[in-house]
Amino acid sequence: MGTSDPTTITLLGENLAEDLMGEVSFGELAFRLITRRRPEPGQLKVFEAVLVALADHGFTPTAIASRLTLHSAPESVQGAMAAGLLGGGSRFLGVTEDTATFLAAVLAESAEPADERGWDELARTAVRRRREAGELVPGLGHPVHEQQDPRTPVLIRLARESGTYGSHLALFEAIGRVAPGALGRRLPLNGAGVCGAALADLGLPAEILRGCALLARAAGLLGHIAEEMRQPIAGEVYRAVDRNAEYVDPDA
């Protein structure tokens, strides 16, 4: 993928200093590193929109972990970054990969529907099977955005406008339409899920998509770390938890 000698650095077959620096965005380089192909303009637009969508979501557990780690080890920025990234799992960030994997499995078992009614029926069957298996449908619901995740319609619109809207997003939208009837309650399509569907439509393999989410969140975590250095809050978080925790005698 890359190599170097005393005078040059070569990456993806190109001279890093002369051909890439100042010529391509970081998003384009990341896309090329992952896929080994140049993105079309529409693909790059959606890919970079996903990175922006997943960069930060406030005082989440990943951000808290980074800030507390920096408070404990202020000399270790790398430790603070790593602490936040390690929290990318099934509840935060990992949903991007989980949704893409789920959608790809459904699509692999069925022919692509010809119309919206067909997509809805396919989605209804997929949701029912998940319920029967006692599993949640990835990409549904959000702890803050209970009515609509503001990222979802924007990413869907960008995908349509850029010509990258495909079967994964079509199925994901259908799941959003049928979920209230199938589940008996309304759960919005969340941003992490729509990011997974959009990336899958770009042709990125599902098993790498958690890495894409972590790539995006790394920028947000670095921002939290920089803010923590300027305006520390982790000490207050630590003291608030420590002073308000209720001790329970294990032998009582």
pLDDT of residue 150: 93
Distance in angstroms (rounded) separating the CA atoms of residues 156 and 170: 9
Mean pLDDT for the stretch of residues 159-164: 98
Q: 189 forms bridges with which residues in the sheet?
A: 140
Residue 34 has pLDDT above 90, yes or no: yes
- What is the per-residue pLDDT for 142? 78
What would the mean pLDDT of 8-28 be, rounded to a whole number? Answer: 96
> Taking the domains of the chain in order of start, what are their residue ranges?
1-38, 95-206
**Could you tell me which of 210, 193, 209, 214 has the C-alpha nearest to residue 62?**
214
Q: What pLDDT is recorded for position 64? A: 96
* Mean model confidence pLDDT for the chain: 94
Q: What is d(CA 96, CA 206) in angstroms, rounded to the nearest whole number?
A: 9
Spatial separation of the C-alpha atoms in residues 8 and 149, rounded to whole Å: 46
**Interval 94-122 mean pLDDT:** 94
Mark 229-248 as b/e (b = at least 16 C-beta within 10 Å): eeeeebeeeeeeeeeeeeee
Residue 42's Cβ-count burial label (10 Å; 0-12, 13-18, 19+) is: middle
Buried b (16+ CB within 10 A) or exposed e, 155-192: bbebbeebebbbbbbbbbbbbbebbeebbeeebbbbbb
In the CATH scheme, what is the code of domain 95-206? 1.10.230.10
Closest CA to 192 of 86, 99, 127: 99
pLDDT band at 252, cuts 50/70/90? confident
pLDDT, position 17: 96
Number of helices (H), then strands (E), belonging to the chain: the values are: 11, 3
Q: What is the mean pLDDT of residues 223-237?
A: 97
Report d(CA 105, CA 97) in Å as an integer: 12
> pLDDT tens-digit profile of 57-74?
889 999 999 999 999 999
